[in-house]
Structure 1
Amino acid sequence: MDINTITEIVTGLDEASLAGWREGDAFLGGGTWLYSEPQPSLRRLFDLDAFGWTPLELTPDALVVAATCKIQELYDFVPPADWRSGGLIRQCCDALLGSFKIWNMASVGGNMCLALPAGPMTSLAAALDATCVIRMREGGERRMAAAEFVTGDRRNALAPGDLLRAIELPVADLRARSAFRQASLTARGRSAALLIGLLDDAGRFALTVTASTKRPVRLAFDAAPDAAGLKDRIDAAIPDALYHDDIHGRPDWRKMLTCRLAEEIRTELAG
């Protein structure tokens, strides 16, 4: 879809141009959502490809994923052999249903910033206890837990003009054991619930609930809980109002699905 309200595209990005952010501006990553529906309020686009960020960088402590990294680039990454949870990367990419055209244009950061409850890049980052690196409009950077980045349905923690720069996936969590569960109302439908569990070598257990809730919910335990303990924590952390309600599933069904998949994950990892 053409956006006929755009009068300028900024391709020479630097700190000064970001500081000039004004109403009617938007960041252009892959553009797969931006160009999918009318954007009557937009006047100017900042082309993020101008930054030339390295899509993926492996450091001793983290896999650093640039916000502009394409879904296909992330999917093609081959994890080291000792990353027992390395398979989560492809599982979450597969949860983003789309053609090869979408995969080669859609960005990891764009999927997170759109902040849909079913956004699988948010699921991956939150489950691995990742850190979001945010470039602020006034200059400098701030960091925050990926599990706190999405604050609600299509709402995130960015202030106007702030920019998600990168997502740091900790190597320590990628070396833990993991279990993945995803369910949809239809065979190829949007995720109605996507849950990921981690169990590290010290016995610490974490469960992350996404898609069924309006924002990610990550529950951490010093040891794998029993069935009743896990159910109690889920009920305490996720009030009924937090379960998402749309054409892809009613809240009561999503709640039932969440509890069922959580118990499957607990049994798999703790058994």
Structure 2
Amino acid sequence: MDLDIDTVRIARTREDCVLRPGEVFLGGGTFLYSEPVPAGVTGLVDLTGLGWEPWSVDGAGLRVSGTCTLAELVAGPGALGGAPGAAGPYRALGIVGECVSALSLSAKVARTATVGGNLALGLPAGSMVGLFGALHGQAVIWMPDGGSREVAGADLVTGAGVVALEPGEVLREVRVPAFALARRTVFRRASLTPNGRTAAMVTGRAGERGPRIVVTASVTAPHGLYARDHDMLDRWLDRIGSTVGWFEDTHGSARWRAAMTRRLAHEALDELGGAA
């Protein structure tokens, strides 16, 4: 679509990321260009000009930049993980491709849409938060004053379209610690139609404290639990239903999403078992 804006600036340095009145950040732009311009937005600051390396892995773990495209995430970290369930030092990354596929993207969109953009949108069905929530990811955020802070990946999205980013902050990267990369992971998803929007998604990772189960899409913000057994899991899901409530829209009723989430969560717990 034709965006009715006045300016586009390409950020080359961190200093260029200081927003001027009316400006917002641009990553891949696939969502921004599909919607009407938000009220008051008159300019864009393109983050792709910063030239961030899409991803890297070393002894400390995995780093994924905010401007890494979803296609780069699959071709890079996703390939390191191999097939879901395969053994190896990066076996946890075997669910990367499934989490990206859960977004029901065309190849063209996947080559443009970014990890940071998906996280910053805060949509219930934005599966990157489920991925990094399961992988113990930490989001590194640049603040306008030149400092930085970290937020747990599972805490980044706080509601439907609401994220823990203050005005002018930039999601620089997500870091996954080395200990999480070798763990077994699991992915489950449900939608009303085979290619429909994700209505319930469960990701998980085995660990020393027991399996880590994360539910997204059926709730407005991700919820995670170290589940020791099925009774504990059921009590936790009951609390979500009674205190938070299940998300509902044209892609699934609250009652159906709750039932699907419960089924998928128990399947995930069975698959992970107690192994690390």
TM range (shorter): over 0.9
Do the aligned residues in 1 keep the contact of 2:198 with 2:217 (CA within 8 Å)? yes
Give me the whole-angstrom Cα distance separating, in 1, the residues matched to 2:53 and 2:124: 27
1:255 match: 258
Correspondence for 1:44: 43
Q: Residues 12 and 156 from structure 1, CA distance in 2 versus in 1: closer, same or farther, beyond 3 angstroms? A: closer
Structure 1 residues 137-176: aligned runs within 5 Å: 137-176=144-183
Matched-pair contact (CA < 8 Å) for 2:11–2:47: no
Question: What residue is the counterpart of 1:96 in the other structure?
Answer: 103
Shift of 1:238: 4.6
Structure 1 letter corresponding to 2:111: N
Shift of residue 240 of structure 1?
A: 5.6
| TM-score (normalizing by structure 2) | 0.91
Taking only the aligned residue pairs, the percentage that are identical comes to 38
Letter in 2 for 1:7: D
Which 10-residue stretch deviates more, 259-268 or 100-109? Answer: 259-268
**Would you say how many aligned residue pairs link Structure 1 and Structure 2?**
265
Deviations 1:189-229 (A, max 9, x none): 111111012213x36221000111100001124xx31x222
Q: Is it true that 1:10 corresponds to 2:9 in the alignment?
A: yes
Q: Which residue of 1 aligns with 2:85?
A: none
- Aligned 1:70-81 pairs, distance under 5 A: 70-77=69-76, 78-79=79-80, 81=88
TM-score for both structures, normalised by structure 1: 0.92
Contact 1:240–1:251 (Cα < 8 Å) also in 2: no
Ranges of 4+ aligned residues in structure 1 off by more than 4 Å: none
- Please say if 1:210 is aligned against 2:216: yes
Find 1:111's aligned residue among 97, 106, 118.
118
CA–CA distance in 1 between the matches of 2:257 and 2:44? 37
Gaps of 5+ in 2: 82-87
- Secondary structure of 1:54's match? coil
Code of the residue aligned with 1:115 in structure 2: it is: G
Measure, in 2, the Cα distance between the counterparts of 1:179 and 1:56.
Answer: 22
Contact 1:13 1:46 in 2 (8 A): no
- Structure 1: tracts of 5 or more residues without a match: none
Amino acid at match of 2:52: W
